[in-house]
Structure 1
Amino acid sequence: MILRHRLAALFEAESVLIVRTEKSRESLQLPESTWQKTVLYQAESTQWPASLELKKRLDLAVVCVPAAELNPVLEKLSLYQPRALLLLTHYSSRAYDASQQRALQQWAQDHHCLLLGPRSFGLMRPNSGLNLSIQPQLPNQGKVALVSQSRTITTAILDWAQDANIGFSTVVDMGDEADVDLASVLDFLAVDNQSDSIILYLHSHPTSRQFASALYAATATKPIIVLKAAALDHSKELRAREEVFSALIRRTGAIRVRYLLQLYAAVKILSLRRRLKGTRIAMVANGDGITQLALDIMRHGSTVRRASLSMETIEQLADGAMENDQLYNPVVRYAPWTTDFIDRVLPALAADPQVDGILVLLAPDPYADLHAIAEGLIALSKKLYKPLVTCWVGEYSMRGLRSKLEQAGIAALRTPDAAMDALNTLASYHYSQQLAQQIIPAYPLGRPANIEAAKHIVLELQQQGVRQLNETDCAQLLACFHVPILAQAKPYTVPTLAPTCIHMYTDAQYGPFMVFGAAAGNLEFISSRTAVELPPLNRNLARHLIERAPIWHERLHDVAGEDVFRELQQALEKLSELISEIPEIKTIQIDPLWLSPSGLYCSKIRMELHPLQDPQNLDCTSYQHMAIHPYPRHLVQHHQFKSGQPWVLRPIRPEDAQALQDFVRDLSAESRYMRFVSMMRELSPSMLARYSRIDYSRELALVATVPSTDSVMADQAGDRVIAFVHYLRNNDGRGAEYALVVADDWQRHGLGSQLMRAIIEAAKSQGLSYIDGYVLATNDGMLALLKRLGFKNDIDKYDPGLRRVWLDLGGAETE
Structure 2
Amino acid sequence: MSFRYLQSLFNPQSIAVIGASSRPRRIGNVVMHNLLAGGFGGAIMPVNPKHDAVAGVLTYPNVAALPRTPDLAIICTPPAAVPGVIDQLGQRGTRAAIVMASQLSTTLGSDGRPLDVTILEAARRYGLRILGGRTLGVMVPQAGLNATFSQVSVKRGNIGFVSQSDAVGTMVLDWALPKKVGFSHFVSLGDALDIGFGEAIDFLGSDPGTRAILLYIESIRDRRGFMAAARSAARNKPVVAIKAGRAPRNSLQGIGDPLFLDTPGLIGSDDVHDAVLRRAGILRVDHLDELFGAVETVVRSRPMNGNRLVVVSNGGGAGIMAEDGLHLGGYEMPDLHENTVTRLRRMLPAGWDGRNPIDISVDAPPKRYEDVLKVLGEQQDGDAILLMHTPNALSSSIDIAQSVIQTIRNVGGNLLTCWIGDESVATERKLFVDSGIATFDTPGHATRAFLHMLNHRLAREVLMQVPPSMQLDFEPDADRARAIVHTALSEGRTRLTEPEAKAILAAYGIPVVETHLAANPQEVAAVAARIGLPVSVTVMSRDVRRKWEVGGVALNLETPDAAEAAAQGMLGRISALRPEARISGFAVQRVDPRQHVRQLIIGVATDPLFGPMIVFGEGGRALEVYRHMAIGLPPLNLPLAHDLIDRSHTAALLGAYHNHPAADRDAIALTLTKVSQLVVDLPEITELDINPLFANDMGVIAADAHIELSASAPNPHRLSIRPYPQGLEETTTLRDGRSAVLRPIRPEDEPTHYVFMSRLTPQDILYRFFHYIGTLPHSEMARLTQIDYDREMAFIASARDQNGQAETLGVVRAVADPDNHTAEFSIIIRSDMKGQGLGSKLLTKIIDYARQRDIQVLAGEVLAENQPMLKLLRVFGFSAKPAEEPGVVHVSMKLQQPVSP
Q: Provide TM-score, normalisation by structure 2.
A: 0.78
Give the Cα separation in 1 of the matches to 2:95 and 2:787: 29
Aligned match of 1:371: 398
| 1:138-149 matched pairs, under 5 angstroms | 138-149=153-164
Question: Which residue of 211, 214, 218 maps to 2:226?
Answer: 211
- Kept in 2, the 8 Å contact 1:280–1:307? The answer is yes
More moved, 681-690 vs 754-763? 681-690
Letter in 1 for 2:796: V
Q: Secondary structure at the match of 1:163?
A: coil
Q: Tell me whether 217-226 or 32-41 shows the greater mean CA deviation.
A: 32-41
Q: CA deviation at 1:192?
A: 2.2
CA contact (8 A) 1:507 1:513 kept: yes
**Structure 1 residues 348-357 or 249-258, which shifts more?**
348-357
Q: 1:807 to 1:721 in 2, by over 3 A?
A: farther
CA contact (8 A) 1:105 1:178 kept: no
Mean Cα displacement is larger for which, 589-598 or 759-768? Answer: 759-768
Q: Are residues 1:29 and 2:115 paired?
A: no
CA offsets 1:552-598 (integer angstroms, 9 cap, x no match): 22343668879932222221111101111211111111101111455
2:455 equivalent among 428, 441, 460: 428
Partner of 1:686: 779
Deviates more, 1:74-83 or 1:136-145: 74-83
| Structure 1 residues 70-149: aligned runs within 5 Å | 82-88=94-100, 97=106, 99=108, 102-111=114-123, 112=126, 113-149=128-164
Q: Determine the structure 2 residue equivalent to 1:546.
A: 645
Match of 2:617 among 517, 528, 542: 517
Correspondence for 1:58: 70
What SS does the corresponding residue of 1:499 show, helix, strand or coil?
Answer: strand
* Separation in structure 2 between the aligned mates of residue 750 and residue 75 of structure 1, nearest angstrom: 46
Give the distance between the partners of 1:789 and 1:337, measured in 2 at CA.
77
In the TM superposition, residue 550 of structure 1 has moved relative to its aligned partner by 1.7
Q: Report the Cα distance in structure 1 between the residues aligned to 2:751 and 2:895, rounded to whole angstroms.
A: 36
1:757 counterpart = 2:844: yes
Aligned amino acid, residue 191 of structure 1:
S
- What pairs with 1:636-715 in structure 2 (closer than 5 Å)? 636-639=729-732, 648-661=741-754, 684-705=777-798, 713=805
User: Post-superposition shift, 1:50?
Assistant: 5.3
Q: CA deviation at 1:270?
A: 2.9
1:172 equivalenced with 2:210 (yes/no) = no
Q: Which amino acid aligns with 2:211?
A: D
CA contact 2:810–2:828 (8 Å) conserved in 1: yes
Counterpart Cα distance in 1 of 2:711 and 2:302? 51
8 Å CA contact retained: 1:275, 1:386: no
Contact between 1:501 and 1:592, CA under 8 Å: does it hold in 2? yes
The change in CA–CA distance for 1:128 and 1:382 in structure 2 (over 3 A counts) is: farther
Where does structure 1 lack aligned partners over 5 or more consecutive residues?
A: 714-719
Q: State the partner residue of 1:717.
A: none
Deviation, structure 1 residue 505:
0.9
- Deviation of 1:519 (Å): 0.7
Amino acid aligned to 1:97: T
* Aligned pairs for 1:222-301 within 5 A: 222-234=237-249, 236-237=258-259, 240-272=268-300, 274-301=302-329
Residue matched to 1:354: 381
Separation of aligned partners in 1, 2:134 and 2:11: 21
Would the aligned equivalents of 1:280 and 1:305 in 2 still touch at CA under 8 Å? no
Match of 1:581 in 2: 681
SS class of match (1:36) = strand
String of CA shifts for 1:665-708, please: whole Å, max 9, x gaps: 68899988987899989764334422332110011222344579
Is contact 2:83–2:119 with CA below 8 Å preserved after alignment? no
Aligned partner of 1:727 among 813, 819, 825: 813
Cα distance 1:798–1:7, how it changes in 2: closer, same or farther (>3 A)?
A: closer
Structure 1 residues 549 and 152, CA, compared in 2 at 3 Å: closer, same or farther? Answer: same
**Distance in 2 (alpha carbons) for counterparts of 1:611 and 1:172:** 42
Match of 1:393 among 412, 417, 420: 420
Work out the CA distance in 2 between the residues paired with 1:531 and 1:50: 57
Q: Is the 8 A contact 2:206 2:783 kept in 1?
A: no
Counterpart amino acid of residue 533 in structure 1: G
For the 8 Å contact 2:238–2:299, the answer to whether it is kept is: no
Task: Report the equivalent of 1:158.
Answer: 173
Write out per-residue CA displacement over residues 714-743 of structure 1, whole angstroms, 9 at most, x where no aligned residue.
Answer: xxxxxx345341315399995434233359
User: Which deviates more from structure 2 when the two are superposed, residues 111-120 or residues 677-686?
Assistant: 677-686
Cα-to-partner distance string for 1:84-143 (whole Å, 9 max, x where unaligned): 332336xxx778626479313413422433322222122211111111212223211001
C-alpha contact 1:725 1:739 (8 A) present in aligned 2:
yes
Q: In structure 2, what is the Cα distance between the partners aligned to 1:561 and 1:784? A: 69
Amino acid at match of 1:725: V
Report if aligned partners of 1:484, 1:570 keep a CA contact under 8 Å in 2.
Answer: no
Residue 738 of structure 1 aligns with which residue? 826
Match of 2:46 among 28, 38, 41: 38
SS of the aligned residue for 1:271 comes to helix
Larger relative contact order (C-alpha < 8 A, sep ≥ 6)? 1
309 and 146 in structure 1: CA distance in 2 versus 1, 3 angstrom threshold? same
* Partner SS state of residue 185, structure 1: helix
Q: How does 1:262-661 map to 2 (within 5 A)?
A: 262-272=290-300, 274-302=302-330, 304-323=331-350, 328-441=355-468, 444-486=471-513, 488=515, 489=589, 491-521=591-621, 523-524=623-624, 527-528=627-628, 530-556=629-655, 564-613=664-713, 617=714, 623-639=716-732, 648-661=741-754
Residues 29 and 71 of structure 1: CA distance in aligned 2, closer, same or farther (over 3 Å):
same
Distance 1:670 1:80 in 2: 35
1:755-801 per-residue CA deviation (whole Å, 9 max, x = no partner) reads 33112222344426334366896896x6765564445789999897x
Q: Which moved more, 1:231-240 or 1:154-163?
A: 231-240
Amino acid across the alignment from 1:37: M
| Secondary structure of the corresponding residue to residue 770 of structure 1 | strand
Q: Tell me the alpha carbon deviations over residues 387-409 of structure 1, each in whole angstroms, 9 at most, x when there is no partner.
A: 22111221131234323422332
Deviations 1:343-377 (A, max 9, x none): 32223323333311111112222332212233333
Q: Distance in 2 between matches of 1:129 and 1:602?
A: 63
| Counterpart residue number, 1:8 | 7
Range that drifts further, 3-12 or 730-739: 730-739
Shift of the 645–206 alpha-carbon distance from structure 1 to 2, 3 Å rule, reads: same
Measure, in 2, the Cα distance between the counterparts of 1:95 and 1:525. 45
Q: Identify the residue that residue 716 of structure 1 maps to in structure 2.
A: none
Q: Give the unaligned 5+ runs of structure 2.
A: 250-256, 260-264, 516-588, 897-901
Where 1:164 maps in the other structure, the secondary structure is coil
Equivalent position of 2:520 in the other structure:
none
Cα RMSD over matched residues?
3.9
Contact persistence 1:20–1:41 (CA under 8 A): no
**Max Rg structure:** 2
Counterpart-to-counterpart distance in 2, 1:393 and 1:773: 58
Structure 2 CA distance for aligned equivalents of residues 472 and 368 of structure 1: 75
8 Å Cα contact 1:647/1:705 also seen in 2: yes
Cα distance between partner residues in 1 of 2:343 and 2:512: 53
CA displacement at 1:204 relative to structure 2: 2.3
